[in-house]
Amino acid sequence: MQLFLTFLAYTLFVAVYSYFKLRKETLNSHEGYFLGGRSLTGVVIAGSMLLTNISTEHLIGMNGSSYKNGFIIIAWEVTSALALILTAVYFVPKYLKMGLTTIPQFLENRFDGLTRSLVAFFLMISFIVTLLPIVLYTGAINLESIFNVSELLDVSQEQGMNITIWAIGLIGSLYAIFGGLKAVAVSDTLNGYGLLVGGLAIPFSALLSIGEGNPMDGLSMVYQHAPEKFNVIGAKDSVMPFEVLFTGLIINQIYFWCMNQMIIQRALGAKNLKEAQKGLLFTALLKILVPSIIILPGVIGFYYYGDLFYDRQDMIYPELIKKVLPVSFVGIFAAVVMGAVLSTFNSVLNSAATIFSIDIFKRHINSQVSDTQLVKVGKITSAVLALFAIIVAPLVANAPDGLYQLLQQLNGIFFIPIASIMLAGFFLPKISALAAKAALLIGLAFYIGCTFIFKVDLHFVHIWGIEFILNMSVMGLISYYIPNKKPFKIKDLQIVEMKGWNYTKSFSAFLVLATLLIYVLLGNFSIY
pTM of the model: 0.85
- In this predicted structure, what is the pLDDT of residue 400? 47
Q: How far apart are CA 65 and CA 51, in angstroms?
A: 20
Higher pLDDT, 424 or 493: 424
Q: What is the CATH number of the domain that holds 459?
A: 1.20.1730.10
* Burial label, 5 (beta-carbon count in 10 A; 0-12, 13-18, 19+): exposed
**How many domains is the chain built from?**
1
Q: How far apart are CA 348 and CA 170, in angstroms?
A: 14
* pLDDT tens-digit readout, 167-216: 888 877 776 666 555 566 666 677 777 777 888 889 999 999 999 999 99
Q: How far apart are CA 380 and CA 9, in angstroms?
A: 30
Q: How far apart are CA 416 and CA 385, in angstroms?
A: 24
Residue 103 has pLDDT above 60, yes or no: yes
Q: Encode 324-348: b = buried (16+ Cβ within 10 Å), e = exposed.
A: bbeeebbbbbbbbbbbbbbbbbbbb
Q: 40 forms bridges with which residues in the sheet?
A: 270
DSSP 17-54: HHHHHHTT---SSHHHHHSGGG-B-HHHHHHHHHHHHS
Q: What are phi and psi of 270, to 5 degrees?
A: -70, 150
Higher pLDDT, 144 or 323: 323
Q: 68, 491 in Cβ contact below 8 A?
A: no
Task: Kindly indicate the confidence band of residue 29, based on its pLDDT and cuts at 50, 70 and 90.
Answer: low
Residue 312 has pLDDT above 70, yes or no: yes
Higher pLDDT, 83 or 406: 83
The residue segments making up the domain with residue 326 are 2-527
Cβ-Cβ contacts under 8 Å for 53 (sequence gap 6 or more) = 80, 263, 287, 344
- In this predicted structure, what is the pLDDT of residue 185? 65
Most confident of 257-271, 363-377, 507-521: 507-521
Q: Which of 451, 470, 357 is nearest to 123 (CA)?
A: 357
Q: Which of 426, 442, 445, 446 is nearest to 434 (CA)?
A: 442
Q: Which of 18, 105, 6 is nearest to 346 (CA)?
A: 18
Q: How far apart are CA 22 and CA 377, in angstroms?
A: 21
- In this predicted structure, what is the pLDDT of residue 94? 96
Higher pLDDT, 45 or 50: 45
Task: Kindly indicate the confidence band of residue 238, based on its pLDDT and cuts at 50, 70 and 90.
Answer: confident
The amino acid that residue 250 corresponds to is I
Instruction: Report the share of the chain in percent with pLDDT over 90.
Output: 41
525 C-beta neighbours (distance < 10 Å), count? 9
- In this predicted structure, what is the pLDDT of residue 482? 93
- In this predicted structure, what is the pLDDT of residue 469? 96
- In this predicted structure, what is the pLDDT of residue 140? 82
Q: What are phi and psi of 214, to 5 degrees?
A: -120, 105
24 C-beta neighbours (distance < 10 Å), count? 6
